[in-house]
Amino acid sequence: MLSVYEGFFSGGARIVHSDVLLGLVEGGQQWHRVLSLHGEVHREATTQRMEDDACYRALTAGGIDVTSLGRTAGLVDGTVAASVFSGPELADTARAMAGADVILSLKEQPLALLNQGGLPRRPVVVCLHRSDPENQGPALDELRTAIADGKVVAGVCCAQSTRDAYEAAGIPGELLHVIPNGVDLLRFRPDAALRLAFRESLGIPAGAPVVVFAARYAGMKNVPLFLRAARAWLAREGGGHVVMCGAGMTDDNPALWADTEIAFGAERAALGDRVHLLGVRHDMEAVYAGSDVVALTSVSGEAAPLCLIEGMMCGAVPVTTDVGDSASIVEGHGFVTPFDPDAIAFAWTAAVAGRETFVPALAASRERFSRTRMIAAYADLLDRVAGDVRDELRPGVTGQ
């Protein structure tokens, strides 16, 4: 199997896909490698090199070969159009594809490469992770082109909302398979020692209420709404703290600074010392274990947000807007809010106060969000696709 990534940068889709590959290789029944279009990505006010990425390091440590076409994405002046590839790039891609039975495309963006003429013909399984296929530039058209050409034989949807949205956009329903996201339950679990250590590292008292917002700095995440809710909540909760982590969630992001100035206004000086900007973290199990609430204020795009699942499994109560499958994920475990900062702030307070009452429901739902369940479903689908390829290659089968 060959997986093609647009690049290695912070985001739930890359985390899930990389974890799936590691799980499939651990099973010993499949062999995987990865080709990344970009070796460096500039986005969310952050430079992200492939070799520095946690997913890259996990894949290579797990014995999975990872190579790159060496492109750089996101520079202001630009270089080569995203859909234009050089002869050497196509040759490298052809060599990578030649040894694979099945190609996995992480989201639709790599299809701009896989749709190029002259490449080896291999069945493509595209992994879909959003609930707004129309809002990704030309990616949806690339998917339609690949399906019309017969390249794409299946699409894995990480949520029911993803399947519904792509089918509504004209993607044949028989190609779409729902495999909900799962997480490592040994890593993501309540941990009193991690909780205490994380809080001590930030100078947060052991008994203080903490809300975490784990998201990259992007329009779909609705950071201004989160900040307005944070201002309202911090003003009311005298001992409360807010933690923001993800690409672009740093002091040197001027857009985030401007959003904070607008949301907090004259209260920034009084409340700002209880807002902790942590940037990209590789110890999210500690961040979630140290928090009481995991918050999401997204306005679009979300399918099965990894932050809600990981946070819940660590004991944080989820509070989210109704986007994608978010409402069904948190049902019985937390709160769904309107896009109103005061309503969100009150829900955070209710979540902190009722945290212990959610513990039984969170514990009972762990198997539903299991990484083992997710990987088994991927393995079954990919084995079936590979089996169809072998059947077509057997003498006497082709053309029947």
- The predicted-structure confidence for 242-283, as pLDDT tens digits, reads as follows 999 999 999 999 999 999 999 999 998 889 899 999 999 999
Q: What is the mean pLDDT of residues 44-64?
A: 94
Q: Which of 70-84, 333-347, 361-375 is least confident?
A: 70-84
Q: Over the Cα atoms of the chain, what is R_g?
A: 22
Strand, helix or coil for residue 330: helix
Smallest CA-to-CA distance from 44 within 253, 302, 296 is with 253
Report the C-alpha gap between 94 and 277 in whole angstroms: 43
Report the C-alpha gap between 377 and 382 in whole angstroms: 9
With beta carbons less than 8 A apart as the criterion, state whether 194 and 286 touch: yes
Smallest CA-to-CA distance from 245 within 202, 209, 208, 194 is with 202
Give the pairing type, strands 46-49 and 33-43.
antiparallel
CA distances 396 to 123, 150, 385, 389, 391, Å, are: 20, 22, 19, 14, 9
The per-residue pLDDT for 395 is 53
Residue type at 149 in one-letter notation? D
Residue 7 has pLDDT above 90, yes or no: yes
- The predicted-structure confidence for 202-257, as pLDDT tens digits, reads as follows 999 999 999 999 999 999 999 999 999 999 999 999 999 999 999 999 999 999 99
Q: Cβ contacts of residue 380 below 8 Å, gap of 6+?
A: none
With beta carbons less than 8 A apart as the criterion, state whether 308 and 302 touch: no
With beta carbons less than 8 A apart as the criterion, state whether 33 and 66 touch: yes
The per-residue pLDDT for 74 is 74
Report the C-alpha gap between 328 and 232 in whole angstroms: 27
Confidence of residue 79 (pLDDT cuts 50, 70, 90): very low
Q: Which of 125-129, 374-378, 390-394 is least confident?
A: 390-394
Global pTM? Answer: 0.92
Residue type at 256 in one-letter notation? L
Residue with tokens 């909780």: 195
Give the pairing type, strands 241-245 and 317-321.
unpaired
Complete domains list, the chain, with CATH: 2-182+371-393 (3.40.50.2000), 192-364 (3.40.50.2000)
Task: To the nearest 10°, report the CA torsion of 168, 171, 172, 177.
Answer: -90
Smallest CA-to-CA distance from 314 within 243, 247, 369, 233 is with 369
- The predicted-structure confidence for 271-318, as pLDDT tens digits, reads as follows 989 999 999 999 999 999 999 999 999 999 999 999 999 999 999 999
With beta carbons less than 8 A apart as the criterion, state whether 264 and 272 touch: yes
Better-predicted residue by pLDDT, 357 or 10? 357
Q: Which of 18-32, 72-86, 345-359 is least confident?
A: 72-86
Q: Cβ contacts of residue 185 below 8 Å, gap of 6+?
A: 313, 366, 369, 370, 371
Token pair recorded at residue 279: 């940037």
